[in-house]
């Protein structure tokens, strides 16, 4: 009898351990992590995903990115999957505080190169195979080089540009570099603020804002013919080199690197010395859009 009781106790103890371990395993939450990569050597594309050549009357430079935010993230099954018909994993908060529906910039997550900007439980993504990633970009902050001529002397300087490229953004205030700009209004795609870094005499600290013309922001979409995006949005589309498969029973985290082409993405009409951005000499900015998306996992 004693031996039988010992066997029963041993089996009960083993079963308890097995059940406990199984429960812990079942409770594990796995995530899809999205992180930025800003690549100045990646292919430079136009709106329809084809290689883009800089016109002879223009110049451009590859800016040095500080931060970026997104408004929308979607996995698309095929090239014919319409916008919104894939698996939408994220949409930033919106507001009507400025009158029209707009992205609420105050609730945006800003992230830099190599930083994670979104983590979503794998369980929230529908099991299946996805060939494309769509990311609606909302805000970008980067440094650029410029030249100004004062009393016949050229000064090579650095400035910071804060550019809002979402369809419409409600902004209370935003910080460019050291300076904060008050807006408290909606701003359409292409609104920007620029800060010239303090340099001392004879170049003072300088802050200005402006609005790029409608349609001036490049938004690459290589599947535009079968899955177009609305005019004025900034939904950049990119294909996985091999389709991403989401399992119904995930057993690991997934990290997706959203590699964005910043290859000469700051473009202007050249009215001065070639290859130098000289705003005081008549150079005018024509494009500040990202030049391509390659998702990698």
What would the pLDDT profile of 263-272 be if each residue is shown by its tens digit?
999 999 999 9
pLDDT tens sequence across 195-243: 998 666 566 678 999 998 888 899 999 999 999 999 888 999 999 999 9
CA distances from 170 to 112, 166, 203 (A): 22, 10, 32
Question: Mean pLDDT throughout 153-182?
Answer: 95
In a domain, 10, yes or no: no
In the structure, what pLDDT confidence band is assigned to residue 17 with cuts at 50, 70 and 90? very low
Q: What is the pLDDT of residue 254?
A: 98
For residue 205, what pLDDT is reported?
73
- The answer to whether the pTM exceeds 0.75 is yes
Tell the burial category of 289 from Cβ atoms under 10 Å away from its Cβ (0-12, 13-18, 19+): buried
Could you tell me if 157 and 146 are in contact, meaning their C-beta atoms sit under 8 angstroms apart?
A: yes
Write down the pLDDT at residue 121. 97
Tell me the average pLDDT across 158-165.
96
Q: How far apart are CA 295 and CA 35, in angstroms?
A: 10
| Cα–Cα distance measured from residue 238 to residue 244, given in angstroms and rounded to the nearest whole number | 12
Q: Is 231 within the bounds of a domain?
A: yes
* Position 11 pLDDT exceeds 60: no
Count up the domains in the chain and report the number. Answer: 1
Q: Is 6 among the domain residues?
A: no
> Is pLDDT above 70 for 23?
no
> Which is nearest to 154 in space by CA: 269, 64, 272?
272
pLDDT band at 22 (very low <50, low <70, confident <90, very high): very low
Does the structure show a pLDDT above 70 at 295?
Answer: yes
Residues 6+ apart with CB under 8 A from 122: 30, 31, 32, 246, 247, 250, 253, 254
> Phi, psi at residue 204, to the nearest 5°?
-80, 165
Q: Is the pLDDT of residue 19 over 50?
A: no
- As a whole number, mean pLDDT of residues 15-21 equals 43
Q: How far apart are CA 174 and CA 184, in angstroms?
A: 10
Contact 169, 139 (CB under 8 A): yes
According to the model, what pLDDT value does residue 9 have? 38
pLDDT for the residue 27? 81
Asked if residue 17 is part of any domain, the answer here is no
Residue 21: pLDDT band (50, 70, 90) is very low
Which pair of structure tokens corresponds to residue 291? 């030049």
Q: How confident is the model at residue 25 (pLDDT cuts 50, 70, 90)?
A: low
Q: Residue 59 sits in which domain range?
A: 30-296
Q: Which of 121, 31, 54 is nearest to 287 (CA)?
A: 54
pLDDT at position 10 is 43
284 burial (CB, 10 Å; 0-12 / 13-18 / 19+) is: exposed
* Residue 47 belongs to a domain: yes
Is the residue at 2 inside a domain?
no
Q: Are 234 and 165 in contact (CB under 8 A)?
A: yes
Q: Residue 6 corresponds to which tokens in the numbers above? A: 């010992």
Ramachandran assignment for 288, one of left (phi > 0), alpha (psi -120 to 50 degrees), beta (any other) = alpha
- The answer on pLDDT for 51 being more than 50 is yes
């Amino acid at each position: 009898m004693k031996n039988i009781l010992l066997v029963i106790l041993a089996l009960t103890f083993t079963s308890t351990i097995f059940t406990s371990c199984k429960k812990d395993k079942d409770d594990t939450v796995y995530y899809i992590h999205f992180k930025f990569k800003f690549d100045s050597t990646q292919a430079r594309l136009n709106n329809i995903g084809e290689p883009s050549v800089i016109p002879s009357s223009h110049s451009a430079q590859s800016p040095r990115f500080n931060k970026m935010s997104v408004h929308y993230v979607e996995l698309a099954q095929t090239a014919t999957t319409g916008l919104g018909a894939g698996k939408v994993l994220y949409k930033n908060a919106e507001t009507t505080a400025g009158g029209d529906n707009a992205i609420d910039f105050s609730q945006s997550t800003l992230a830099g190169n190599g930083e994670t900007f979104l983590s979503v439980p794998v369980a929230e993504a529908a099991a299946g195979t996805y060939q494309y990633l769509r990311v609606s970009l909302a805000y970008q902050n980067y440094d650029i080089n410029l030249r100004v001529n004062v009393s016949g002397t050229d000064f090579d300087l650095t400035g910071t540009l804060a550019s809002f490229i979402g369809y419409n953004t409600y902004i209370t205030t935003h910080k460019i570099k050291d300076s904060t700009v008050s807006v408290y209004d909606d701003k359409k795609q292409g609104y920007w603020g620029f800060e010239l870094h303090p340099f001392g005499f004879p170049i003072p600290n300088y802050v200005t804002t402006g609005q790029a013309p409608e349609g001036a922001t490049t938004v690459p979409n290589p599947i535009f013919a079968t899955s177009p995006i609305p005019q004025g949005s900034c939904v950049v589309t990119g294909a996985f080199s091999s389709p991403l498969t989401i399992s119904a029973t995930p057993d690991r985290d997934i990290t997706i690197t959203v590699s964005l082409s910043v290859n000469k993405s700051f473009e202007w009409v050249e009215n001065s010395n070639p290859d130098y951005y000289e705003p005081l000499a008549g150079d005018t900015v024509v494009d500040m859009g990202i030049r391509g998306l390659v998702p990698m996992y």
